[in-house]
Amino acid sequence: MSALITDLIVGPSAAFTDLLPEWRALWAQAPDREPFSHPGWVQAYLSAFEPSARPVVLTVRLDGTLVAALPLVRESTIFDGMPVRLLRAPMNPHSFRAQALVLADQPPQTPCAFIDHLSAMPGWDLLTIPRFARSGFADQLGHCAASHGFPILLHPHCPTRYIAIPARALDGGDEPWLADVDPDLRKKMRRAWRQIQQEFRAEPELETCEVAEPADLQRFYDLEASGWKGRAGTAIKCSPGTVRFYTDVAQAFAGERALRLHFLCVQGVTIAGAFSIIAADRLYVLKWSYDEEYARYRPGQLLSGEMLRDCFKRGLRTMDLGEDADYKRAWTPLTQDFEYLYIFNRTLYGRLLYVCREWLRPMIGCVLKRLRRRHSAARPNTPGT
């Protein structure tokens, strides 16, 4: 039987650089790959948001071939008021979610090989993987850790919402890519489309860019910053680090022929745009934007419909809308569950961290809530209030 060999590759280093081609090849072969496990994504994140971080990649090899990779960051920080040596997924709100990268036919003992390596590795108290798909590899990792005596916690996280796109039209229905969309929303979209036709005497047109041209990226950044995101300071353009991140991501995935910039235009005017990445047969929509001057025409919804049409023509089977939100529910009833994994070391300090998070923190929260209730009930009523 072939042996599984685990290793922890520390970056930046020659070994870390040498790993990147294998990591890209593994990503290209993994059937459930997501953009967030691509080395270009991880490098873009580190460069833009944590240039001084100590990245590591936990790897598993079978007969010398890379079959699994889990990117992490070492960090000394505070957890529940206590100092902790943390291993965590390299991510922030722009990273959306985490994913370990594994080959389709990786040996079933791969998760436990990771845990065996962690068992022998000094210098850590807690490993966290936020926002990972339930029933995926990270889930297996948690169960293996528990079977090896590591205290673990699994907390549910906000689900994502996605649209399933049929491979072909069924029963002669038109617009099969909109089959799961709420009928009322479809009516509103058709009405908005006719309104544009009548008022502009022109059809809205979808433009698709697959190369990371600076002018096209700037076009999207300007459009996104022109509305409420710009006023709130949350647009990509408002932060040089965020601009760098999305620009580097665009360049990395343009090289994989997986970048998609979609623009909806009317008579040469861009009224909506989206920044997306393709992985396997799924389109991941990372950012949306629209021109608020054209809000009455529902430009974001019209763009989404045209993107679904484009996905249908290209043979993509899913459009991932990201974290669940009220406005996304009219598009699809389908959701995917996600969780947050904590693996505490088996050391005395690691177990103390586990007890504080699992027992003491909830108990203190309940006590404080009761004290606030009593204090509120004991306050005298003030006339006129």
Q: What secondary structure does DSSP assign to 4-39, as a single string?
A: EEEEEEESSSHHHHHHHHHHHHHHHH-TT--GGGSH
Q: Which CATH class is domain 4-158+338-370?
A: alpha beta
| Residue 101 to residue 377: CA distance in whole angstroms | 53
Position 373 pLDDT exceeds 50: yes
Question: Which residues, in sequence order, are CB contacts of 271 under 8 Å at separation 6+?
Answer: 204, 264, 265, 290, 291, 294, 297, 299
C-alpha to C-alpha distances, 311 to 131, 138, 263, nearest whole angstrom: 26, 29, 14
User: Structurally, what CATH architecture does the domain formed by 166-316 represent?
Assistant: 3-Layer(aba) Sandwich (3.40)
> What residue type is assigned to position 277 of the chain?
I
List pLDDT tens digits, range 280-339: 999 999 999 999 999 999 999 999 999 999 999 999 999 999 999 999 999 999 999 999
Residue 1: what pLDDT? 47
Q: Hey, what long-range contacts does 247-250 have (CB within 8 A, 24 or more apart)?
A: 247/212, 247/217, 248/40, 248/43, 248/44, 248/47, 248/48, 249/35, 249/40, 249/41, 249/44, 249/277, 250/212, 250/217, 250/275
Per the document, the length of the chain is: 385
Yes or no: say if 202 and 266 are a contact pair by the CB < 8 Å rule. yes
Least confident of 112-126, 171-185, 215-229, 287-301: 171-185
Residues forming beta bridges with residue 57, ordered by sequence position: 9, 71
Q: Would 4-158+338-370 and 166-316 be classified into the same CATH topology?
A: yes
Residue 365: what pLDDT? 63
What tokens does 280 get?
């396997």
Percent of all residues in the chain with a pLDDT value above 90, rounded to a whole number: 74
Yes or no: say if 71 and 103 are a contact pair by the CB < 8 Å rule. no
pLDDT band at 265 (very low <50, low <70, confident <90, very high): very high
Yes or no: say if 34 and 284 are a contact pair by the CB < 8 Å rule. yes
Instruction: Indicate the domain borders of the chain.
Output: 4-158+338-370, 166-316
Yes or no: say if 236 and 192 are a contact pair by the CB < 8 Å rule. no
| Residue 281 to residue 164: CA distance in whole angstroms | 11
Residue 132: what pLDDT? 87
List pLDDT tens digits, range 93-130: 888 888 888 887 778 899 999 999 999 999 999 999 98
Cα 262 off chain centre by: 19
101-106-108-110 Cα dihedral, nearest 10 degrees: -50
- The pTM of the full predicted model, rounded to 2 decimals, is 0.90
